[in-house]
Protein backbone atom coordinates (compact mmCIF):
# COMPACT_ATOMS: atom_id res chain seq x y z
CA UNK A 1 0.00 0.00 0.00
CA UNK A 2 2.81 2.42 0.85
CA UNK A 3 4.64 1.68 -2.39
CA UNK A 4 1.45 2.11 -4.39
CA UNK A 5 0.76 5.46 -2.78
CA UNK A 6 4.24 6.75 -3.60
CA UNK A 7 4.00 5.66 -7.21
CA UNK A 8 0.54 7.22 -7.41
CA UNK A 9 1.87 10.55 -6.22
CA UNK A 10 4.94 10.54 -8.42
CA UNK A 11 3.00 9.40 -11.44
CA UNK A 12 0.65 12.33 -11.11
CA UNK A 13 3.41 14.80 -10.41
CA UNK A 14 6.16 13.84 -12.84
CA UNK A 15 3.71 13.32 -15.68
CA UNK A 16 3.43 17.10 -15.86
CA UNK A 17 6.84 18.57 -16.42
CA UNK A 18 6.90 20.29 -19.81
CA UNK A 19 6.04 24.01 -19.90
CA UNK A 20 2.93 23.69 -22.13
CA UNK A 21 1.38 20.58 -23.62
CA UNK A 22 -1.94 19.09 -24.73
CA UNK A 23 -2.34 15.98 -22.61
CA UNK A 24 -4.69 13.29 -23.83
CA UNK A 25 -7.51 12.61 -21.35
CA UNK A 26 -6.85 15.88 -19.53
CA UNK A 27 -9.58 16.69 -16.97
CA UNK A 28 -11.07 13.30 -17.77
CA UNK A 29 -12.92 13.20 -14.43
CA UNK A 30 -15.49 15.51 -16.06
CA UNK A 31 -16.26 12.79 -18.62
CA UNK A 32 -17.42 10.29 -15.98
CA UNK A 33 -20.78 12.00 -15.91
CA UNK A 34 -23.18 13.21 -13.22
CA UNK A 35 -26.57 11.79 -12.29
CA UNK A 36 -27.66 8.17 -11.98
CA UNK A 37 -30.13 8.65 -14.83
CA UNK A 38 -27.33 9.51 -17.23
CA UNK A 39 -25.11 6.72 -15.92
CA UNK A 40 -27.90 4.20 -16.39
CA UNK A 41 -28.33 5.36 -19.99
CA UNK A 42 -24.67 4.97 -20.87
CA UNK A 43 -24.24 8.78 -20.72
CA UNK A 44 -26.42 9.12 -23.85
CA UNK A 45 -28.36 12.19 -22.65
CA UNK A 46 -27.10 15.15 -24.69
CA UNK A 47 -30.38 15.46 -26.60
CA UNK A 48 -32.89 14.47 -23.91
CA UNK A 49 -31.55 15.97 -20.67
CA UNK A 50 -34.00 18.52 -19.27
CA UNK A 51 -33.27 19.19 -15.62
CA UNK A 52 -30.60 20.62 -13.34
CA UNK A 53 -28.09 17.94 -14.45
CA UNK A 54 -28.08 19.57 -17.90
CA UNK A 55 -25.66 22.15 -16.50
CA UNK A 56 -22.91 19.56 -16.94
CA UNK A 57 -24.24 17.52 -19.90
CA UNK A 58 -25.76 20.18 -22.17
CA UNK A 59 -26.48 23.61 -20.64
CA UNK A 60 -29.23 24.25 -23.20
CA UNK A 61 -31.31 21.55 -21.49
CA UNK A 62 -31.64 23.65 -18.33
CA UNK A 63 -34.47 25.63 -19.93
CA UNK A 64 -36.15 22.49 -21.35
CA UNK A 65 -37.48 21.58 -17.91
CA UNK A 66 -41.21 21.68 -17.21
CA UNK A 67 -40.47 23.10 -13.76
CA UNK A 68 -41.04 26.80 -13.16
CA UNK A 69 -39.15 26.94 -9.86
CA UNK A 70 -35.88 26.00 -8.20
CA UNK A 71 -34.32 22.61 -8.98
CA UNK A 72 -31.71 20.87 -6.83
CA UNK A 73 -29.73 17.77 -7.81
CA UNK A 74 -27.21 15.71 -5.84
CA UNK A 75 -25.22 12.54 -6.55
CA UNK A 76 -22.78 10.26 -4.76
CA UNK A 77 -20.85 7.29 -6.12
CA UNK A 78 -17.72 5.37 -5.20
CA UNK A 79 -15.29 3.94 -7.73
CA UNK A 80 -12.54 1.32 -7.57
CA UNK A 81 -14.07 -0.55 -4.61
CA UNK A 82 -14.59 2.67 -2.67
CA UNK A 83 -11.10 4.10 -3.19
CA UNK A 84 -12.35 7.05 -5.25
CA UNK A 85 -15.42 9.12 -4.35
CA UNK A 86 -17.37 11.12 -6.93
CA UNK A 87 -19.87 13.74 -5.74
CA UNK A 88 -22.07 16.33 -7.40
CA UNK A 89 -24.35 19.14 -6.24
CA UNK A 90 -26.26 21.41 -8.59
CA UNK A 91 -28.96 24.08 -8.49
CA UNK A 92 -30.99 25.69 -11.25
CA UNK A 93 -33.43 28.58 -11.00
CA UNK A 94 -35.55 30.61 -13.42
CA UNK A 95 -34.99 34.26 -14.20
CA UNK A 96 -37.72 36.89 -14.10
CA UNK A 97 -37.86 36.88 -17.89
CA UNK A 98 -39.60 33.80 -19.28
CA UNK A 99 -37.68 30.85 -20.72
CA UNK A 100 -34.37 31.73 -19.13
CA UNK A 101 -32.53 29.85 -16.37
CA UNK A 102 -29.29 29.99 -14.42
CA UNK A 103 -27.43 27.02 -13.01
CA UNK A 104 -24.48 26.26 -10.75
CA UNK A 105 -22.86 22.81 -10.57
CA UNK A 106 -20.14 21.53 -8.22
CA UNK A 107 -18.16 18.33 -8.79
CA UNK A 108 -15.54 16.59 -6.68
CA UNK A 109 -13.68 13.41 -7.58
CA UNK A 110 -11.09 12.45 -5.00
CA UNK A 111 -8.97 9.77 -3.39
CA UNK A 112 -8.50 10.38 0.33
CA UNK A 113 -6.23 9.01 3.07
CA UNK A 114 -3.22 8.42 0.81
CA UNK A 115 -0.05 7.73 2.86
CA UNK A 116 2.83 10.10 2.13
CA UNK A 117 5.85 7.80 1.92
CA UNK A 118 8.27 10.53 0.83
CA UNK A 119 8.98 11.20 4.51
CA UNK A 120 9.10 7.54 5.54
CA UNK A 121 12.91 7.36 5.77
CA UNK A 122 15.15 9.11 8.27
CA UNK A 123 18.41 10.76 7.22
CA UNK A 124 20.35 7.63 8.23
CA UNK A 125 18.19 5.43 5.99
CA UNK A 126 16.07 3.86 8.71
CA UNK A 127 12.30 3.61 8.37
CA UNK A 128 10.17 5.58 10.79
CA UNK A 129 6.45 4.89 10.42
CA UNK A 130 5.69 7.80 12.75
CA UNK A 131 6.64 10.08 9.85
CA UNK A 132 3.71 8.88 7.73
CA UNK A 133 1.13 11.55 6.97
CA UNK A 134 -2.02 11.23 4.89
CA UNK A 135 -3.15 13.49 2.07
CA UNK A 136 -5.88 13.68 -0.56
CA UNK A 137 -5.69 13.89 -4.34
CA UNK A 138 -8.86 15.54 -5.60
CA UNK A 139 -10.28 17.21 -8.69
CA UNK A 140 -12.89 19.96 -8.38
CA UNK A 141 -15.01 21.72 -10.97
CA UNK A 142 -17.57 24.50 -10.80
CA UNK A 143 -19.94 25.24 -13.70
CA UNK A 144 -21.76 28.56 -14.05
CA UNK A 145 -24.53 27.98 -16.60
CA UNK A 146 -27.03 30.11 -18.51
CA UNK A 147 -29.74 28.90 -20.88
CA UNK A 148 -32.60 30.44 -22.81
CA UNK A 149 -35.12 29.67 -25.52
CA UNK A 150 -34.53 31.37 -28.86
CA UNK A 151 -37.59 33.28 -30.01
CA UNK A 152 -41.20 32.60 -29.10
CA UNK A 153 -42.66 29.11 -29.18
CA UNK A 154 -45.38 28.58 -31.79
CA UNK A 155 -47.73 25.63 -31.86
CA UNK A 156 -46.59 22.99 -34.34
CA UNK A 157 -43.09 24.41 -34.62
CA UNK A 158 -39.91 23.36 -32.88
CA UNK A 159 -38.14 25.00 -29.96
CA UNK A 160 -34.52 26.10 -30.20
CA UNK A 161 -32.70 26.19 -26.86
CA UNK A 162 -29.19 27.50 -26.30
CA UNK A 163 -26.95 27.49 -23.26
CA UNK A 164 -23.38 28.01 -22.15
CA UNK A 165 -21.00 27.17 -19.31
CA UNK A 166 -18.13 29.03 -17.75
CA UNK A 167 -16.25 26.39 -15.79
CA UNK A 168 -13.49 26.61 -13.24
CA UNK A 169 -11.34 23.53 -12.60
CA UNK A 170 -9.14 23.07 -9.53
CA UNK A 171 -6.94 20.01 -9.06
CA UNK A 172 -4.91 19.34 -5.92
CA UNK A 173 -2.45 16.61 -4.92
CA UNK A 174 -2.05 17.12 -1.18
CA UNK A 175 0.48 19.85 -0.35
CA UNK A 176 2.66 18.90 -3.33
CA UNK A 177 0.84 20.24 -6.39
CA UNK A 178 -2.24 22.18 -7.42
CA UNK A 179 -3.64 23.74 -10.56
CA UNK A 180 -6.36 26.15 -11.67
CA UNK A 181 -8.05 26.06 -15.04
CA UNK A 182 -10.83 27.79 -16.94
CA UNK A 183 -12.94 26.81 -19.93
CA UNK A 184 -16.13 27.47 -21.90
CA UNK A 185 -18.84 25.10 -23.20
CA UNK A 186 -21.68 25.90 -25.59
CA UNK A 187 -24.81 23.75 -25.99
CA UNK A 188 -27.82 23.60 -28.30
CA UNK A 189 -31.07 21.62 -28.25
CA UNK A 190 -33.91 21.42 -30.77
CA UNK A 191 -37.24 19.95 -29.72
CA UNK A 192 -40.18 19.30 -32.00
CA UNK A 193 -42.95 16.87 -31.17
CA UNK A 194 -41.33 13.67 -29.94
CA UNK A 195 -37.93 14.44 -31.49
CA UNK A 196 -34.94 15.70 -29.48
CA UNK A 197 -31.67 16.91 -30.99
CA UNK A 198 -28.62 18.00 -29.01
CA UNK A 199 -25.19 19.41 -29.82
CA UNK A 200 -22.45 20.51 -27.39
CA UNK A 201 -19.03 22.05 -27.94
CA UNK A 202 -16.87 21.36 -24.87
CA UNK A 203 -13.71 23.28 -23.99
CA UNK A 204 -14.17 25.50 -27.04
CA UNK A 205 -11.50 27.91 -25.79
CA UNK A 206 -9.12 24.99 -25.07
CA UNK A 207 -9.39 24.64 -21.29
CA UNK A 208 -6.07 24.97 -19.47
CA UNK A 209 -4.74 23.93 -16.09
CA UNK A 210 -1.81 25.94 -14.72
CA UNK A 211 0.16 23.67 -12.37
CA UNK A 212 2.34 24.78 -9.46
CA UNK A 213 4.49 22.37 -7.41
CA UNK A 214 5.73 22.66 -3.86
CA UNK A 215 8.28 20.08 -2.66
CA UNK A 216 10.59 20.50 0.31
CA UNK A 217 14.34 20.04 -0.17
CA UNK A 218 14.13 16.69 1.61
CA UNK A 219 11.32 15.52 -0.71
CA UNK A 220 13.33 16.62 -3.74
CA UNK A 221 16.23 14.52 -2.52
CA UNK A 222 13.96 11.48 -2.24
CA UNK A 223 12.65 12.07 -5.77
CA UNK A 224 16.20 12.34 -7.11
CA UNK A 225 17.41 9.21 -5.27
CA UNK A 226 14.47 7.18 -6.64
CA UNK A 227 15.22 8.38 -10.22
CA UNK A 228 12.05 10.47 -10.47
CA UNK A 229 12.08 13.79 -12.27
CA UNK A 230 11.26 16.81 -10.16
CA UNK A 231 8.28 18.48 -11.87
CA UNK A 232 8.27 22.18 -12.70
CA UNK A 233 5.45 24.69 -13.00
CA UNK A 234 3.61 24.06 -16.24
CA UNK A 235 0.38 24.44 -18.18
CA UNK A 236 -1.77 21.49 -19.25
CA UNK A 237 -4.44 22.05 -21.91
CA UNK A 238 -7.65 20.20 -22.75
CA UNK A 239 -8.54 20.01 -26.44
CA UNK A 240 -12.12 20.73 -27.60
CA UNK A 241 -14.71 17.99 -27.99
CA UNK A 242 -17.98 17.90 -29.90
CA UNK A 243 -20.91 15.90 -28.50
CA UNK A 244 -24.06 15.17 -30.46
CA UNK A 245 -27.27 13.26 -29.76
CA UNK A 246 -30.64 12.28 -31.19
CA UNK A 247 -33.62 11.01 -29.16
CA UNK A 248 -37.22 10.09 -29.94
CA UNK A 249 -40.01 9.63 -27.42
CA UNK A 250 -42.57 6.91 -28.14
CA UNK A 251 -45.48 7.83 -25.87
CA UNK A 252 -48.12 5.28 -24.87
CA UNK A 253 -51.15 5.48 -22.60
CA UNK A 254 -49.25 4.04 -19.66
CA UNK A 255 -45.82 2.92 -20.87
CA UNK A 256 -43.48 5.13 -22.92
CA UNK A 257 -40.07 4.58 -24.48
CA UNK A 258 -37.26 7.02 -25.21
CA UNK A 259 -34.18 5.70 -27.04
CA UNK A 260 -31.20 7.99 -27.60
CA UNK A 261 -27.92 7.73 -29.46
CA UNK A 262 -24.92 10.00 -28.82
CA UNK A 263 -21.39 10.47 -30.08
CA UNK A 264 -18.25 12.14 -28.75
CA UNK A 265 -15.81 13.56 -31.29
CA UNK A 266 -12.43 14.20 -29.62
CA UNK A 267 -9.62 16.25 -31.13
CA UNK A 268 -6.62 15.29 -28.99
CA UNK A 269 -5.24 12.48 -31.15
CA UNK A 270 -5.87 8.78 -31.57
CA UNK A 271 -7.91 7.22 -28.75
CA UNK A 272 -9.00 3.68 -27.99
CA UNK A 273 -12.52 4.20 -29.38
CA UNK A 274 -14.78 2.48 -31.91
CA UNK A 275 -13.61 4.83 -34.67
CA UNK A 276 -10.05 5.97 -34.04
CA UNK A 277 -7.77 8.19 -36.09
CA UNK A 278 -5.40 11.13 -35.64
CA UNK A 279 -6.32 13.77 -34.57
CA UNK A 280 -10.04 12.85 -34.49
CA UNK A 281 -11.64 9.88 -32.72
CA UNK A 282 -15.34 9.03 -32.46
CA UNK A 283 -16.91 7.32 -29.43
CA UNK A 284 -20.64 6.41 -29.73
CA UNK A 285 -23.11 5.59 -26.96
CA UNK A 286 -26.75 4.54 -26.74
CA UNK A 287 -29.42 4.37 -24.07
CA UNK A 288 -33.06 3.37 -23.64
CA UNK A 289 -35.46 4.64 -20.98
CA UNK A 290 -38.83 2.99 -20.32
CA UNK A 291 -41.28 4.68 -17.97
CA UNK A 292 -44.65 3.84 -16.49
CA UNK A 293 -46.77 7.00 -16.26
CA UNK A 294 -43.62 9.03 -15.68
CA UNK A 295 -43.41 7.51 -12.19
CA UNK A 296 -41.28 4.37 -12.50
CA UNK A 297 -38.30 4.27 -14.88
CA UNK A 298 -36.16 1.43 -16.22
CA UNK A 299 -32.93 2.26 -18.05
CA UNK A 300 -30.13 0.55 -19.93
CA UNK A 301 -27.18 1.88 -21.87
CA UNK A 302 -23.85 1.10 -23.44
CA UNK A 303 -20.83 3.29 -24.20
CA UNK A 304 -17.02 3.35 -24.26
CA UNK A 305 -16.46 0.79 -27.00
CA UNK A 306 -12.78 -0.12 -26.56
CA UNK A 307 -10.53 -2.69 -28.15
CA UNK A 308 -8.76 -5.03 -25.74
CA UNK A 309 -6.35 -7.93 -26.18
CA UNK A 310 -7.81 -11.28 -25.10
CA UNK A 311 -5.84 -14.19 -23.62
CA UNK A 312 -5.49 -15.74 -27.07
CA UNK A 313 -3.88 -12.56 -28.40
CA UNK A 314 -6.88 -11.49 -30.48
CA UNK A 315 -8.37 -8.01 -30.30
CA UNK A 316 -11.92 -7.91 -28.97
CA UNK A 317 -14.38 -5.04 -28.73
CA UNK A 318 -15.31 -4.39 -25.10
CA UNK A 319 -18.21 -1.99 -24.40
CA UNK A 320 -19.23 -0.57 -21.03
CA UNK A 321 -22.80 -1.64 -20.15
CA UNK A 322 -25.01 0.00 -17.53
CA UNK A 323 -28.48 -0.36 -16.05
CA UNK A 324 -30.61 1.83 -13.83
CA UNK A 325 -33.98 2.51 -12.25
CA UNK A 326 -35.80 5.62 -11.10
CA UNK A 327 -38.79 6.62 -9.01
CA UNK A 328 -40.59 9.96 -9.19
CA UNK A 329 -42.98 11.03 -6.43
CA UNK A 330 -44.46 14.44 -7.15
CA UNK A 331 -41.55 16.91 -6.99
CA UNK A 332 -39.03 14.37 -5.70
CA UNK A 333 -37.08 11.86 -7.82
CA UNK A 334 -34.48 9.28 -6.82
CA UNK A 335 -32.38 7.41 -9.39
CA UNK A 336 -29.99 4.47 -9.16
CA UNK A 337 -27.46 3.11 -11.66
CA UNK A 338 -25.05 0.20 -11.74
CA UNK A 339 -22.21 0.82 -14.13
CA UNK A 340 -18.53 0.24 -14.80
CA UNK A 341 -15.74 2.79 -15.02
CA UNK A 342 -13.18 0.35 -16.40
CA UNK A 343 -12.65 -3.23 -17.48
CA UNK A 344 -12.20 -5.00 -14.14
CA UNK A 345 -14.81 -6.33 -11.76
CA UNK A 346 -13.64 -4.03 -8.96
CA UNK A 347 -14.46 -0.94 -11.03
CA UNK A 348 -18.24 -1.45 -10.96
CA UNK A 349 -20.02 1.19 -8.95
CA UNK A 350 -23.41 1.94 -7.43
CA UNK A 351 -24.56 5.46 -8.30
CA UNK A 352 -27.38 7.23 -6.46
CA UNK A 353 -28.72 10.66 -7.31
CA UNK A 354 -31.60 12.86 -6.19
CA UNK A 355 -33.65 15.51 -7.94
CA UNK A 356 -35.95 17.95 -6.16
CA UNK A 357 -38.14 20.49 -7.91
CA UNK A 358 -39.59 23.35 -5.86
CA UNK A 359 -42.81 24.94 -6.97
CA UNK A 360 -42.90 28.76 -6.82
CA UNK A 361 -45.43 30.43 -4.59
CA UNK A 362 -48.49 31.57 -6.45
| pLDDT of amino acid 121 | 65
| pLDDT of amino acid 155 | 72
Residue 352 has pLDDT above 90, yes or no: yes
- How does pLDDT run across 264-319, given as a tens digit for each residue? 999 888 888 888 888 889 999 999 999 999 999 999 999 988 877 777 777 777 88
| pLDDT of amino acid 36 | 96
Which SS3 state, helix, strand or coil, does residue 347 take? Answer: helix
| pLDDT of amino acid 308 | 77
| pLDDT of amino acid 124 | 63
| pLDDT of amino acid 7 | 40
Average pLDDT over residues 251-265: 96
Average pLDDT over residues 58-63: 97
Yes or no: say if 335 and 40 are a contact pair by the CB < 8 Å rule.
Answer: yes
What the chain holds in terms of domains, given with CATH numbers, is 2-357 (2.40.160.40)
The predicted model scores a pTM of 0.86
Query: 184, 188, 206, 185: which is closest to 197 by C-alpha?
Result: 188
Yes or no: say if 345 and 315 are a contact pair by the CB < 8 Å rule.
Answer: no
Average pLDDT over residues 51-80: 93
| pLDDT of amino acid 74 | 98
Neighbours of 29 (CB within 10 A): 19
Query: 233, 268, 207, 264: which is closest to 23 by C-alpha?
Result: 268
pLDDT averaged over every residue in the chain: 85
List of residues 6+ apart from 359 with CB closer than 8 A: 67, 68, 69, 331
Residue 198 has pLDDT above 70, yes or no: yes
Residue 16 has pLDDT above 80, yes or no: no
| pLDDT of amino acid 347 | 66
| pLDDT of amino acid 229 | 74
Q: Which residue has the higher pLDDT, 125 or 112?
A: 112
- How does pLDDT run across 227-252, given as a tens digit for each residue? 777 777 778 888 899 999 999 999 99
Q: Please return the burial class of 281, using the count of CB atoms within 10 Å of its CB with bins 0-12, 13-18 and 19+.
A: buried
Q: Which residue has the higher pLDDT, 257 or 312?
A: 257
Residue 15 has pLDDT above 50, yes or no: no
Residue 351 has pLDDT above 70, yes or no: yes
Using alpha carbons only, what angle is made at residue 174 by residues 169 and 180, rounded to the nearest 5 degrees? 20
Amino acid sequence: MMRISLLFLLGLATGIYTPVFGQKYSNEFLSIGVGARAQGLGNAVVAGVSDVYAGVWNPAGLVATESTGLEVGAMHSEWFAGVGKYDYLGVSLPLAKANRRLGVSLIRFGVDEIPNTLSLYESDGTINFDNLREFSAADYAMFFSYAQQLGQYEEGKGRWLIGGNLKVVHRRIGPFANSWGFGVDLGLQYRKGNWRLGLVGKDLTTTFNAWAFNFTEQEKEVLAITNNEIPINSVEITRPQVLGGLAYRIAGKKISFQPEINFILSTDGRRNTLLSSDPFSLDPSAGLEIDYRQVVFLRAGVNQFQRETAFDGKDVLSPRPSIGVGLRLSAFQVDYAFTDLGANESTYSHVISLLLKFRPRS
